Structure 1
């Protein structure tokens, strides 16, 4: 009897496993056809020289060696690192500041949260076009506002010294998603900790640095990882700005004034579709993948350390 029951259980398990596999089969097929095969194909292409009208020709490590010598690769990587490690802390600070303000109890709090989140749902291309107009050195609202206090505004998108800072300013406008995540983290900090601190006579600053910040530190580090990864995919804004400035055409393959906003993904795109060097572009993509993996590993280690040393850690 036990033996028969065991056989039935095995048949039931096999049937459940088969049903589960059949339900997952469309996703598996899609992953293999549209993710895994293109990924492995691009790895092969990174060791070849080819374009849409030329068959791939094996060149070994030539593409990777070229990347280390190409000054535009280093320039674009430097610009991307600037966005990753300058824009990310600023965006996290603003998101945390807004979340702290929205965590307070006051009338109309839900409406204010909606207002702060709305920029995150506006299409990026439309938002970028609005910012291009706002950055206009003569008619833009930004220079008009700072002109009210006697400051002569720069040519934001023309002067290479200010172009990347213009992108940073654009990024601070779309921190709604990060703000909501920080707000959820703030609400997850136990209220009893604040009550105990108040009994001990702690002020607002002390409570923030000793309770709030350690409590949300893992979330902040995680958001930092995501923002840094997104910074290495920074493309749409600069592509729109350069096309709007050049009016499209062949000149849009540049990187802005003195290549000051030539981001790595933009240079990768230009290499593949403007210069038609697909093999070199594949090598650039895998080089970027390696950089992101290394940075993600480092940030993950930092996250674990912060989690262990944060509130409740031993």
Structure 2
């Protein structure tokens, strides 16, 4: 009588050799500092933030359990909606403009011109300047009295605005500052442009394609992974926008709350009002918003990305 083997493949107990066990042990040992750091400095704060968001905790007291009261108060807070609106406004302008500027610079710096290495360094330097120093420099650049921007506008007979002291011009000034520091994104775009196969450009020229046609049908498809990366990271960074506006406005969102972004309002609730529970709920809402935007981008734009050879 033939015996039938009823063992389901893949469900049996996996047996590791002595060498494999040794590799796993040593691998975990060498990774233990990173694992410990992730648990202590990332996982634990996230868990504590979630826990605190349901309490009335302050800097000095653990508080009592409130349920979803912090979230209810957050969604009825007019300043929360204003800070979120300011954040979305800056993000909606700075991210696309930053991508366009970085892409344009990458295309220009890919040309075979004399001294292009110097130009690449000059355009990259702003991205490595500390954010606090950047904010201080731009504060003086946008000065209504002696700032270089209004001085240059005055040379052509234009009276410059008050910029950082005018509610109508404060956010455009912050957008200009954000676009100014796209040097790191420019380097990524430049690497993507240089990866486009040269033979495709040559074939397109033979077929009679012009400059714009070659850019649309050759450059953009190969650059789409880099553009997706720039879009997703720009959205995430936009919801965390804080340092420049904090330094320039002394942390109060002046003038008239026009620069009160979400990160700054979160900072005020935590370190000025000591409302740990409320600030924790705010932080979780921002995280959910940024994660949702990233998922939407991947589900929509991500499907149109072309990966060479796939």
TM-score (norm 1): 0.91
Q: Tell me, what secondary structure is at the counterpart of 2:63?
A: strand
Q: In structure 1, what is the equivalent of residue 275 of structure 2?
A: 277
Q: In structure 1, what is the equivalent of residue 97 of structure 2?
A: 90
User: What is the CA-CA distance between 1:52 and the residue it aligns to?
Assistant: 2.0
1:11 counterpart = 2:24: no
User: What is the CA-CA distance between 1:303 and the residue it aligns to?
Assistant: 4.0
Q: In structure 2, what is the equivalent of residue 298 of structure 1?
A: 296
* Residue from 84, 99, 103 that aligns with 1:77: 84
1:186 and 1:212 in contact (8 A); partners too: yes
Q: Tell me, what secondary structure is at the counterpart of 2:260?
A: coil
1:64 and 1:283 in contact (8 A); partners too: yes
User: What is the CA-CA distance between 1:74 and the residue it aligns to?
Assistant: 0.3
Greater alpha carbon shift after TM alignment, 297-306 vs 99-108:
297-306
Q: Tell me, what secondary structure is at the counterpart of 2:62?
A: strand
Aligned residue pair count: 296
1:211 and 1:311 in contact (8 A); partners too: no
User: What is the CA-CA distance between 1:56 and the residue it aligns to?
Assistant: 2.1
1:67 and 1:284 in contact (8 A); partners too: yes
1:286 counterpart = 2:284: yes
Provide Cα deviations, 1:201-247, integer angstroms capped at 9, x if missing partner: 2111111122112221221121111011101110000100112xxxx
User: What is the CA-CA distance between 1:100 and the residue it aligns to?
Assistant: 0.5
* Residue from 26, 30, 45 that aligns with 2:33: 26
Q: Superposed, which structure 2 residues align to 1:60-71 within 5 Å?
A: 60-71=67-78
User: What is the CA-CA distance between 1:312 and the residue it aligns to?
Assistant: 6.2
Q: Distance in 1 between matches of 2:113 and 2:48?
A: 56
Unaligned runs of 5+ in 1: 1-7, 244-251
Q: Superposed, which structure 2 residues align to 1:115-154 within 5 Å?
A: 115-154=122-161
Q: Tell me, what secondary structure is at the counterpart of 1:49?
A: coil
Q: Superposed, which structure 2 residues align to 1:208-223 within 5 Å?
A: 208-223=215-230
Q: In structure 2, what is the equivalent of residue 184 of structure 1?
A: 191
Greater helix proportion:
1
1:218 and 1:306 in contact (8 A); partners too: no
* Residue from 174, 182, 192 that aligns with 2:181: 174
1:47 and 1:61 in contact (8 A); partners too: yes
